[in-house]
Structure formats: C-alpha cells, structure tokens
Amino acid sequence: MPKITRLEWTCLIITATVLTVTFAVMIRRQQEVPQEQETGQAGDDLQAMSGQSESRVTVQDPEIAPSDAESREFAERVRDVPKPDVAHLTPSTPNALVDAAAVVSNQVAGLVRPPRVFGTNDVVAALAKIAAMPWGPAAEQLLQNTVGKWAASDPAGALDYALGIESRRVRAALVSGVFASWAKTDLNGAYSCLLANRETSPDTFRLGLKPVFSAAAASSVSQAMRMAMELGTGTDRLTAIGAVMGYASREGIMPSMISYMDSLQAVGERRSYASLLAQNWAVYAPEQAVGWAMTLSDPLVKKAAMSTAVSMWAGDNPTAAAAWVMTLPDAELRSQEMVQITRSWAKYDPVNAADWLLSMRPPSPSLDPSVRAFVGTIMNSNPEAAVMWAGTIADPKIRNNTIMGVARQWITTDPQKAAAYIATAPLTPGQRASLMRSRP
C-alpha cells in the first residue's frame, strides 16, 4: 500500500469537512419554509389607486411563488396581530433593543449563509413581539425598524398597516419611513402612490413629500425639480423644493439651485424660494449664502434671503456672523442684519449677545433696533434684565414704548416684582396707572 504523505492527509480531511458542512446546510434548507413577500389585499388596493401594475414577488426560492390564497392568508395574519398600544405611552427604562426582524447571517460550522429575505413570517413574528411589549421607546423603535424593512419588499402593505396606527405621531413617523424605503427601491411607484393620495388623503401626501423628493434628488436633482414644479404653486411645492435643496446642501451643490428661481414669476414665490435657498445653503456655507443674497436685485427678495441666511448663521456661529456684519459698508443694511444676529444669538446665548452689544457702547441711535430686538427676545425669561436694557435705548419714544411692553407682560407673570419696578420706572403717572390696572 503506497504511503500517504501529511499533505495528502490534510487535503482528505478538508475535503471531507467541506462535504459534511455542505450536506448539513442542504438538509437544513430543505426543512425551512420559503419566505413570501407578496403584498396583502390592502396593498393591492393602494397599487390600483396609483395606477401601477402588480408588484413583482421576490421569494427565497425563485421556483416557488405564493398563491392568491397565501397572500390573503398573510393579510389576515397581519390583521390578526394586535396593534401596539400607543394610546397610553408610559415612560419606562427600555431594555436592550432586540430587533427580532433583523436580517442576519447565520454561520453553520464556519460556513456563512447568505442573508435571509425579510418575509411574511418575519413581519408577523415581529409585529406580535411588539404587540406583547410595553409601549415605550424600545417598542416604538422596533416598530419603525420592522415597518421600514417590510416596506422594502411590500411597500403598499406596509403603508396600509402604518395608516391603521391610531397615534398620529407614530403614524406620521411610520408613513414617512415607508415612503423613504419605497422611494429608494422604486421611485416611480412611490411617486405614483404619493400623487394618488394628494386629493383622497392629504395627510398621507404631505408625509410622503419630503422622503420621496429627497430620494428623487439623490437620483437626479434636475428631474426632482421638474417634478416639484409640476405640483403647482403653494406649500406642497415649497416642501418638495426644500427636500431637494436639503440634498443639494449636503452634497455641496447649492449654486446649481440658483437658476431655478428664474422660472418663478410671482414676487411672493421668488421670495419664498430665495429664503429656502438661503436657509439650506447657510447650513454648511453661510458666507456663500449671504454673498449670493447680496447680489440679488429685487429688494424684497434680497431682504428675505439675507435675513434668513444671517439668522441661520447667527444661530450656529454667532461670533463669526457678528464679525462679518461689522464689515458691511452700508449702514442701513448693517443695522438690519445686526438685528437678525442679536435676535438669534440672544435666543440661545443671551449673556454673550449682551456682551457684544455692550462692546458697541450703547446708547446709540444706530444700536436702538438691535437693543430692542434683544429686549424682545429675553423679556419672558428675564424681565428684570429686559427693562434695564430697554432703558439704554437712545430714542425717547422707542425707549418708552419698549419699557411699557416689557412691564405689561411682566405684571401678568410676576405682579409683585413688576409693581415694584413700575412704581419707580421712568414713565408718566398715567402710564404707571395704566400698567397697574392690568395687574391680575
């Protein structure tokens, strides 16, 4: 008998192991039930509304497709699963979120199986698990994950389920998620369903606008803008355009959005478009946004774009915005934008906003608009500081009116302290008496 070398023994052992593992996997797969992805009856109705043909079915075994009876059975199984009790949200410490519907890769004796398709059994099992959980953040997150994965293969069925959720907040999140998932895999189908719901279900239409147009922009910005323009004038079109601009902002291609404003005829539409453009552009490139806004010729459109861009900049980086505004040679424009910066800055950081104003040594007529904006921003949270700052306004009439406004608000929330201030405030006796009469 010829002698077998160590290398030959090793090869024989490896071959035997591979054959054993392969045989085990084949036996296990034969025992599994193929996962269906056919839509339910409600999903068929939605597709009929949108004028789309029946969705193609993707199953684990391409030779096996679910029958109509199986599809009806799945729809009934989903309907039989209780909806999660979202009407009574009870705070609780969420356990570690176990996503029963996650697509996983199983290892069998070191051999990695391909990911299993998220099918009907997964949907039913995940919904049953959620229904049995106490409602809270963990259950809500699991519900969103489940419906989102369901929508990847059966968007119409997932949408029908989402629309049946009683909670308006949860339903809105689920519907938006379904459209987002649907648009990534079938943009035309998602858009057709969106339009089909515009008249019959306006809430569904509005919830789907942003995710569908965000996906459309990722495919083609120019095509997404054409789709948005076809929606007609109004808030729907602006919402769609805003979604496209959000994508353009993240991709750093905002200059390409300027030319679309030329197709808008009405001043109101141009003003709204300019504000949206400035708002999205200023998120990542505020200096470019304000630079573009300053080039606009129409004073109303320019004012809208400038105010929006500067306000966005000041809300995110007020020090940089404040340094920029002081370089403006036009005194009137500088005063207008200082107001925007002061208002945005004081909303989040009133102490540093006040220091900035103090660095310009009030009282000064040129500072009056900014000081008044500062007072109006802090008067509800700190009326004592508000009346002190109101006293630094240079113009006597503006100063008096501002003090009266703060005191009138203050006396309704803290009558005792407000009355003590009013007694010595730089007001006329008639004004003091008028304020005291409004005391609760």
pLDDT digits (tens, 9 = 90+) for 179-224: 999 999 999 999 999 999 999 999 999 999 999 999 999 999 999 9
pLDDT band with cut points at 50, 70 and 90 for residue 267:
confident
Residue 275 is assigned to a structural domain of this protein: no
Choose the final residue of a domain: 150, 166, 182: 166
Tell me whether residue 33 is in a domain: no
pLDDT-derived band at 143, boundaries 50, 70, 90 = very high
User: Quick check: is 6 in a domain?
Assistant: no
10 lies in some domain: no
Question: Which structural domain, as residue segments, surrounds residue 145?
Answer: 72-87+99-104+111-166
Instruction: Using pLDDT thresholds of 50, 70 and 90, give the confidence band for residue 79.
Output: low
Is 65 among the domain residues? no
* SS3 sequence of the chain: CCCCCHHHHHHHHHHHHHHHHHHHHHHHHHHCCCCCCCCCHHHHHHHHHCCCCCCCCCCCCCCCCCCHHHHHHHHHHHHHCCCCCCCCCCCCCCCCCCCCCCCCCCEECCEECCCCCCCHHHHHHHHHHHHHCCCCHHHHHHHHHHHHHHHHHCHHHHHHHHHCCCCHHHHHHHHHHHHHHHHHHCHHHHHHHHHHHHHHCHHHHHHHHHHHHHHHHHHCHHHHHHHHHCCCCCHHHHHHHHHHHHHHHHHCCHHHHHHHHHHCCCHHHHHHHHHHHHHHHHHHCHHHHHHHHHCCCCHHHHHHHHHHHHHHHHHHCHHHHHHHHCCCCCHHHHHHHHHHHHHHHHHHCHHHHHHHHHCCCCCCHHHHHHHHHHHHHHCCCCHHHHHHHHCCCCCHHHHHHHHHHHHHHHHHHCHHHHHHHHHHCCCCHHHHHHHHHCCC
Mean of pLDDT values over 268-296 = 94
pLDDT in tens, 42-60: 333 323 333 333 333 233 3
Prior bond to 286 cis, omega within 30? no
**CB-based contacts of 73, cutoff 8 Å, min separation 6:** none
For position 38, what pLDDT does the model report? 37
Reported confidence tier of residue 71, pLDDT bands at 50, 70, 90: low
The percent of residues above 70 in pLDDT, for the chain, comes to 73
Checking if the pLDDT of 280 tops 50, the result is yes
pLDDT in tens, 99-140: 322 322 233 333 333 334 456 677 888 888 888 899 899 999
| Residue where a domain terminates, one of 147, 166, 185 | 166
Which of 145, 166, 187 lies at the terminal end of a domain, its last residue?
166
CB-based contact 305:292 (threshold 8 Å): yes
Please report which confidence band the pLDDT of residue 37 belongs to, taking 50, 70 and 90 as the band edges. very low
Domain count, the chain: 2
Task: Work out the mean pLDDT of the chain and round it to a whole number.
Answer: 79
Judged by average pLDDT, the poorest of 13-22, 173-182, 232-241, 404-413 is 13-22
pTM score over 0.85 = no
Residue 135 included in any domain: yes
Report whether pLDDT(319) > 90: yes
CB distance 405 to 397 below 8 Å? no
Residue 120 resides in a domain: yes
Does residue 404 fall inside a structural domain?
yes
